[in-house]
Structure 1
Amino acid sequence: MDLYSIIRPALFRFDPENAHHLSLESLSFLHRHQLLNPFINKSSYIPTNLCGLTLGNPVGLAAGLDKDGKYIDALAALGFGFLEIGTVTPLPQFGNPLPRMFRLSNSKAIINRMGFNNDGVQACIKRVEASSYYQDGGIIGLNIGKNATTPIEEAHTDYLIGLRSVYPFASYITINISSPNTKNLRQLQSNNQLYHLLEQISIERDKLIQQFSKRTPIFLKIAPDLTLEEVEVIAQYIEQFQIDAIIATNTTISRDQVSQEKQKDQAGGLSGAPLAHLSNQIIKQFNHLLNGKIPIIGVGGIMTGTDALEKKLVGAKVVQLYSGLIYRGPNLIQECISAMDLD
C-alpha cells in the first residue's frame, strides 16, 4: 500500500511551505519512533562510484529540501544513496518574504522563491556532525551560496567562507551559482565572473588540500536556461579549474510548459515535471562537450523511474530528487533505483 498517496491530499490543503515543514517534522517523528517502515519500500544497495565516493545507490536527495541539516537521519532512512544539504550561506538569513512557494498541481510542478533561507553555515555543520548518518560514513554533500546582502562583485568572498567552513565535513561541496531567487546570482555563470569565481575557488582548494591532507570533490550546480554558447564556456572552465562534477540543473525561469496554470506568473524558479526536458537537454550538451569525462548529476523533473532512466541515457551518472518526492512520496526512490539498475 502506498500510504503517501492517501496522506497527500490532506497535505496539499496546507500552504506549500507549511506543508513542507509539517512533512519533515512528521518524518522526523516517525523516524525517531521507528515507525517509518509502512511508508517506504526498502531501497536496494547498489554501490555507485562518484568522484571517488561510494554511494549506497545512484539516487540522491537534491539540495533545498533540507536546507539546514535538521532532518538528515530521517531522510537517509528513506533509502537515498546520498544526501545534499543546503544551500547554506556564511550568515543566517530569512530569505524572501512570504508567501514564496506555490504548487502548480495540474502540471506536477512547484514555483519557489525561497531565497536561501537558512540558519547559516556554522549551525548546519553542527547538525551534520551530530547526525548518525554522517558518523556512520554516509555521503553528505554541502551546497554553498552567497548571502543576499553581499554585492555580486564580492560574491567570491562568501563562497570562500563557505568552502573553508564545510571542507573538513563535506563528502563533496556544491557551488550554487544558479538559483534564480537571489538577486543577480545567475550573473556568476557569465564568462568573466565565472572565471574569477572558479579561479578563487581553485586557489583556495589547493590550500585546503594541503591543510587537511584530503581532496574533497567540488561540484558546480548550473541553470537549465543556458544558451549553447554559455554551456560551452562553462564546460571549458570546468575542465580548466578541475571541477569534479556538474549538477544539472537548478530550477528554471521559463514558463513555457505551464502557460495554463493560474500561478504561472509567480516569480521564482519552476521545478517538477515541466523541467525534465530542459534539464535533459543541458545534460546532453555537457556530456557531449566534455566527452563523458566529467560526471553529471541529473536533477529536474524526475517524477517516475522512467524519468530517472532517461537522465542516465542522456549522460547523467546519478540523479537527485526533490519535487517528485512531493508529488509521489518516498516510493519514488526505489522506483528510480530499480529503473536505473535495469539499464
Structure 2
Amino acid sequence: MYKLLFNLVFRKMDPEKAHHLAFFWIRLAASVPGLRQLVALVLAPRDKALRTTALGLDLPGPFGLGAGFDKNAVGIDGLAMLGFDYVEIGTVTGEPQPGNPTPRLFRLVDDRALINRMGFNNQGSTRIAARLAQRQRGSLSPVVGVNIGKTKVVEEADAVADYVKSTERLAKYADYLVVNVSSPNTPGLRNLQAVSHLGPLLSAVRQAADRSTPHHVPLLVKIAPDLADEDVDAVADLALELGLDGIIATNTTIGREGLREPAARIEEIGMGGLSGAPLKERSLEVLRRLRKRTDGRLTLVSVGGIETAEDAWQRIIAGADLVQGYSAFIYEGPFWMRRVHKGLSLRLRRAGFKSLAEAVGSAA
C-alpha cells in the first residue's frame, strides 16, 4: 500500500515537501488520544528477546532512527509510535540557522538512496532545549539521543566553544549525546575529525556535559565513511583514550561510485552527502574495523545502508550494539520497523541465541 502511495504521490513531490507532509501526519496521529497507543500496538510489537542494554540505557530493541529526520525534536513520540526503539534528534547547532538554499534533498530511487545538502537547518539549541524540557515523559516515551554540530557561521577556531554552548543547553535532556563532525554540508566540519582537533573538542564537550547535569550522559562521536582506515583506527584509539562511551559509524559519503542513476543527473544534483543502500558495504567495513580495534570496549552504533532485518542482523553479529536507519524509512514507509523487528526476532531464534546481547559480535 505504501509503495503505491509513494509512487503515485510522494515520488512526484519535492522530497523536502514530501518529508514535511509525511512528518505532519505522523505527529498528528500521535497527538490523538488513544490513537498513539493503538498504532503502537500494531506497528511496534515488542519481543522481549530483543531488549538490550547499551550506553547504560534499557532499550526495547536495537534499532533507532538516525539523526536528520527530526531536526527540532517536534515528533519524538510519533516516531516511537512507528516502532523505532530510540530516536536521535538533530543535528542541533548552537545558534538557529536556515540551512542551505533549496532544493537540497534529492531521491535516487533506483539506488534506494538520497543526496542531501541540508546544511544543519534547525531552530537552534536554546529553542530545542526548551522544547525537550516541556516533554511529558511516560511509559511509551523512547530513549532520545541529541546530535550536535557546528553552527555554519562559526569559524573553525571557535568550534569548541560552539559545541560547548549546545552541550550546556541540551545535555540535561539527552539520554545520550552525539558530537557530529562528519557531515559534508558544513564547510570545514570534517576537518574536526583529525585527532589533533577532535581530542580537545571531545574533552571540552565531556566536561561541559558533566557540569550541566549530575548524572552521566553517554557521549559518542559520529564519523564519516570516507575516512581512511588508519584514520578510523586513530579515532577509535582516541575514543578509548578519552573514555568516550561509543562511536556512531557512519555518516553520509561524498562518494558517488557504483550508482545506477545517470552520471548527468548526479552532476546536475551536485554536492551533498549520499545516504542509503550504496553505503552498505563501506559502513559494514568500518564497523568491523572498529570492533576489531576496540574489542567490545566501546558501544558501536552502525548506520548506513540498513534496509532489511538481514542488514541489521549482519551489523549486530559483526559487532554493532545498536543500529540506526533513515533513508530506507523514506522508501519502506510506516510498516518498516514492524518488518525489521519480526525479522530480527526470527534470526535471533534460528541462531539459537536467547538474547540480543549474545548475538552482538558473534561473527566478529
Question: When the two structures are superposed, what TM-score results if normalisation uses the length of structure 1?
Answer: 0.93
Q: C-alpha distance in 1, partners of 2:83/2:220?
A: 23
Equivalent position of 2:152 in the other structure: 148
Q: C-alpha distance in 2, partners of 1:154/1:43?
A: 46
The share of aligned pairs that are identical, in percent, is 37
Q: C-alpha distance in 2, partners of 1:291/1:84?
A: 25
Shift of 1:259: 5.8
Equivalent position of 2:224 in the other structure: 223
2:6 aligned with 1:8, yes or no? yes
Q: C-alpha distance in 1, partners of 2:42/2:131?
A: 24
2:325 aligned with 1:324, yes or no? no
Amino acid across the alignment from 1:116: F
SS for the counterpart of 1:308 is helix
2:21 aligned with 1:22, yes or no? yes
Amino acid across the alignment from 2:169: S
Q: C-alpha distance in 2, partners of 1:260/1:84?
A: 30
Q: C-alpha distance in 2, partners of 1:172/1:74?
A: 20
Equivalent position of 2:39 in the other structure: 37
Amino acid across the alignment from 1:216: V
CA shift digits 1:12-50 (9 cap, x unpaired): 110011111011012222333328739963332532101
Amino acid across the alignment from 2:219: I
Amino acid across the alignment from 2:308: T
SS for the counterpart of 1:125 is helix
Contact 1:96–1:115 (CA<8 Å) still a contact in 2?
Answer: yes
Amino acid across the alignment from 1:28: R
Amino acid across the alignment from 2:252: T
Q: C-alpha distance in 2, partners of 1:229/1:310?
A: 23
Q: C-alpha distance in 1, partners of 2:138/2:303?
A: 23
Q: Root-mean-square deviation (CA), in Å? A: 1.9
Q: How many residues align?
A: 338
Pick which of 110-119 and 68-77 moved more: 68-77
Equivalent position of 1:264 in the other structure: 266
Note closer, same or farther for the CA distance 1:166–1:254 as it changes in structure 2 (3 Å cut).
Answer: same
The 5-angstrom pairing of residues 85-100 of structure 1 reads 85-100=89-104
Q: C-alpha distance in 1, partners of 2:101/2:166?
A: 24
The 5-angstrom pairing of residues 139-218 of structure 1 reads 139-208=143-212, 212-218=213-219
- In structure 2, stretches of 5+ residues that fail to align are 349-364
Shift of 1:245: 1.1
The 5-angstrom pairing of residues 85-124 of structure 1 reads 85-124=89-128
Amino acid across the alignment from 1:239: L
Equivalent position of 1:241 in the other structure: 242
Shift of 1:177: 0.5
Shift of 1:136: 5.9
Q: C-alpha distance in 1, partners of 2:40/2:167?
A: 39
Which consecutive aligned stretches of 4+ in structure 1 deviate over 6 angstroms post-superposition?
Answer: none
Q: C-alpha distance in 1, partners of 2:204/2:40?
A: 48
Shift of 1:78: 0.6
SS for the counterpart of 1:114 is coil
Equivalent position of 2:362 in the other structure: none
SS for the counterpart of 1:219 is strand
Equivalent position of 1:71 in the other structure: 75
Note closer, same or farther for the CA distance 1:275–1:134 as it changes in structure 2 (3 Å cut).
Answer: farther
Contact 1:40–1:331 (CA<8 Å) still a contact in 2?
Answer: no
Question: When the two structures are superposed, what TM-score results if normalisation uses the length of structure 2?
Answer: 0.88
The 5-angstrom pairing of residues 276-295 of structure 1 reads 276-295=280-299
